[in-house]
Structure 1
Amino acid sequence: MHRDLNFSNLVMNHLQFNILSLGYSDLDSHWNFKGTCDYFNRLYIVLDGEGMVENEYETIWLQKGYAYLLPEFTPYDLSCDYYLKKIWIGFNMQLIPGQDICHALDKCLFKQFDFEKLELLGQRITSKKVNDLIWCHGTLFEMISELLFEEELLTEDKMKLIIKYRDVYEYITTNNRFDLTLTEISDNTNISVDKLTKEFKRDMGLTLKEYIKQQLLQNIVKDLLLTDQTVGAIAEQYAFKDQFYFSRFFKRQLGVSPMKYRNRYKD
């Protein structure tokens, strides 16, 4: 019997799982942040103690032996009363550059896992051996897959929309700058500005300008956390007119200055 595997091939051949940052933390009551909102997904794996993540819609207790997936662009208050030992990673999972498949989530996902496996992950994640780290990468991907298993993140119709705007996404990804205009995108994708703005909002649920800003902030955050570039160099790279204007833009979006954001999350 012949089966149509076109959709399967499309997804599995293009799926990218990227770990942007990771850490191993022993926390106490100083871990207390209000309105934390990242431009990447976070996975918390609790090895001991307890903490809490909450917003206006839900309150989730972080418990030993559980993993928690906090989706991108979703604000949470983070707190620990006494003690919390956890592994955390920042990641994205994309089929098309700039389109994270977890973006459709609007809640924290959590699940209990075999604790011996979590302990082994805690031991190997700081290893200097490549084989250990390959195992960690695969284990983290497997855990995220299990957390997402019952969520319908990407229907075939949604995939068709992503393909429809493939050229737009790729142009924005390649030319992601503060001064990027809709006219420039239109000229390089052969879609009129009027058609592009109307259809993109209708199909994707946000304006194209909002999407460009999201991608710009996501790239800036990556550079702050994953490189040692100065704030001034990052501002110049993304075509801000000066460092002051860049810092004001960043603080307006995330509530803290670029340097404070880097100092809070990089280590």
Structure 2
Amino acid sequence: MIKRILTHSFSLMNVDLVKLDSKWNYRNVVSPYHRVYYITGGEGEISHFEKKLKLEKGYLYIIPSFTLCNLSCDSFLEQYFIQFFEESSDGMSLFASNRSIFKVEAQEVDVINFKRLLSINPGRGINRSDDPKIYEKDVYYKEYQELNMKQNTSQFLETQGILLQLVARFTSPEIIVQRKREHIPVKILDTISYIVINLHTPLSVKSMAERVYLNPEYFSRLFEQYTGMRPLAYINEKRIERAQYLIMTSRSKYTEIAKMTGFESLSHFSRTFKRITGMSAKAYEKFL
């Protein structure tokens, strides 16, 4: 059980207590990190396709990474918020099977956790603007990563523990469809790491199987057994996630993004992007 939970770790970006008004009104927001809100006063709304949730005092909310949503406040809203990246040993998010928005009633310990997280991670607010188009830039991500590197061991472990507790509030069977996790072979874990690092290079089942001295067909079956996806499908999904991140955080042209994410041509990139996200890269960028 402990090993299963610890396959997921988190990298904190922002935490703060903020007071918002009607200017907090953004449509088609999508981010490569998770957001968790705890409402302390006022009202607002978040929506995801046909699902709408009222932001109200005494409740916790989560918006998983790569979840398209709308954020709004009619007059006044006070909330604690945290934004953080998720990493896992098999590259699969806890919310991979259900990327939507969720709401649970807050408990006393949640309030304590938000206050403590803020106290041990000062200077993590978004002071430039509350508009995602402004603060979601690669240069700002790097700033927060540098702050994480400066954490001492005690701060790092406590931050991880608090984030785990808050995420755990959204891991009921109704929200998370857990795929039974088994001990993942070292060769598969090594391949997952290799894929993430080398997305910009040509990756074939044959070459990856040869790297770990396995028959290509056996390697493919083994990979699917422990990740739930065939190797090439997994690679394409990770490439498109990386492309989404680049579209959001850089001004690179589509041809450059296609090259940086390992696609052999712009047309191949475009077809794959639309097949996985349900929209073209251009339409996706307009949503941002």
What TM-score range do you get, normalising by the shorter chain? 0.5 to 0.7
CA distance in structure 2 between the aligned counterparts of 1:254 and 1:50, rounded to whole angstroms: 33
CA distance in structure 1 between the aligned counterparts of 2:222 and 2:151, rounded to whole angstroms: 46
CA distance in structure 1 between the aligned counterparts of 2:211 and 2:48, rounded to whole angstroms: 41
Aligned partner (choices 173, 181, 201) of residue 196 of structure 2? 173
Q: Which has the higher contact order (CA 8 A, sep 6+)?
A: 2
Q: For the structure 1 residues 53 and 179, does the alpha-carbon distance in structure 2 shift closer, same or farther, using more than 3 Å as the test? A: farther
1:89 offset after TM fit, Å?
0.8
Structure 2 residue 112 is matched with structure 1 residue 117: yes
Q: TM-score, normalised by structure 2?
A: 0.61
1:216 offset after TM fit, Å?
2.7
Residues 33-52 of structure 1 aligned to structure 2 (within 5 Å): 33-34=27-28, 36-52=29-45
Identity of aligned residues (%): 17
1:93 offset after TM fit, Å?
4.7
CA distance in structure 1 between the aligned counterparts of 2:171 and 2:205, rounded to whole angstroms: 34
Q: Is the 8 A contact 1:42 1:91 kept in 2?
A: no
Q: Is the 8 A contact 2:30 2:66 kept in 1?
A: yes
SS in 1 for 2:181: helix
- What value does the CA root-mean-square deviation take over the aligned residues? 4.5
Q: For the structure 1 residues 205 and 225, does the alpha-carbon distance in structure 2 shift closer, same or farther, using more than 3 Å as the test? A: same
Q: Which residue in the other structure is 1:3 paired with?
A: none
Q: Is the 8 A contact 2:117 2:159 kept in 1?
A: no
Aligned partner (choices 100, 112, 122) of residue 126 of structure 1? 122
**Paired positions, count:** 247
SS in 2 for 1:11: helix
Q: Which residue in the other structure is 1:28 paired with?
A: 22
Q: Which residue in the other structure is 2:82 paired with?
A: 88
Q: Which residue in the other structure is 1:211 paired with?
A: 234
In structure 1, stretches of 5+ residues that fail to align are: 1-6
Q: Is the 8 A contact 2:205 2:216 kept in 1?
A: yes
Q: For the structure 1 residues 67 and 19, does the alpha-carbon distance in structure 2 shift closer, same or farther, using more than 3 Å as the test? A: farther
| 1:154-209 C-alpha deviation (Å, 9 max, x unpaired) | 45x43346878434323212322264333332332344545555675677554433
Q: Is the 8 A contact 1:105 1:153 kept in 2?
A: yes
